[in-house]
Amino acid sequence: MDGKAARERRESRETNEFNLLLFLSQLWSEIFRDVSVRAGLAYSLDMINNRPSGFANPWLQLGLNIICVVLYELLLKAGAKATANLSQPWSWTGITGLASPLIWLAIVVIILDLMIWLYVLKYIPLSIAFPLSRMVDVLVPISCWLILKEEISPLRWCGIALVIIGLAIVAKPAARLEERL
Amino acid sequence: MTWWSIVLILIWLATFVAGQLFFKRAMELSSVTGFHNRKTITFLSAGIVLMTMSFFLNLGLLQRFDLSYLYPFQGLSIIIITLMAAVILKEKLTWRLTIGTLLITAGVVLVSMS
């Protein structure tokens, strides 16, 4: 009589323990699965949004692109000036410019710049990247002023100021874009 | 300045803008499907052909005109490209971006006028 009741009590306790264990293991696997799914999702999102850091950072590459553009603009103008001969029949196609070594150097810089630019376009919308890349319109006259000691008129300074204000305004949504990624 | 040079400047602008749009589209595709995709390669080569055309036209124009004369037209390309990116590529065009772009263009025009 006593032994039977004790056995029943033990059996019911064992069942309870088993149920608790089952519940805990289910809970654990649920949590673990949630964590692992989240981790996997975050990883794959990083792969999709792909925010490379260091030298591969697209904003740094945009800066490099701007330096390349300033360089090849100056090379092109110098080369075009040296080869300007408007009497030749095909001169309007610009093909006569190929006689100048400066143009060939510019072409090398342009190809380099193209690869950098394509990389930038992979990560940054065109409507943001392109206005920002026009920073060259400020850098060219300022570098002429600093290096070549050219005079800059007040009107030109006003234009430079306008471009800088515009760049700052365009760069703000770019910063927000960076946050969203 | 003849009507012929205006036509050349317009073709230069058009090829430049179209080339940029093709580049952006190609790079968008490449980040989804990679470079081994016929569409990506087509867009990329179309972009390269158009940019090469605009490069030589630019060179021809540079031999003819001052850089400062051609610069306002380059400023114009900022507006056109931003607009086209919004219309064709469906990029989001905020008021902020529009005002910033207009200011940059106005600045470029002022720089080349002076």
Q: Answer whether B62 sits within 8 Å of A83, measured CB to CB.
A: no
Residue A85 with chain B: CB contacts under 8 Å: 63
- Given a contact cutoff of 8 angstroms between Cβ atoms, the answer to whether A126 and B85 are in contact is yes
Instruction: Give the C-alpha separation, B75 to B70, whole Å.
Output: 9
Q: Say whether pLDDT at A50 is over 50.
A: yes
SS (H, E, C) B31-79: HHHCCCCHHHHHHHHHHHHHHHHHHHHHHHHHHHCCHHHHHHHHHHHHH
Smallest CA–CA distance from A119 into chain B, residue: B27
Q: What is the pLDDT of residue A43?
A: 47
Measure A172 CA to nearest chain B CA, in Å.
Answer: 8
Q: Answer whether A91 sits within 8 Å of B60, measured CB to CB.
A: yes
> What is the model's pTM?
0.66
Confidence of residue A46 (pLDDT cuts 50, 70, 90): very low
Give the closest of B8, B81, B112 to A130, CB-based: B81
Q: Is the ipTM beyond the 0.85 threshold?
A: no
Q: Answer whether A160 sits within 8 Å of B111, measured CB to CB.
A: yes
Q: What is the pLDDT of residue B50?
A: 93
Biggest distance spanned by C-alpha atoms of chain B: 49
Residue-wise pLDDT for B6-56, tens only, equals 888 889 989 998 998 888 888 888 877 776 778 888 888 999 999 999 988
Residue-wise pLDDT for B57-89, tens only, equals 888 887 777 766 777 777 788 888 888 888 888
Give the closest of A155, A164, A172 to B113, CB-based: A155
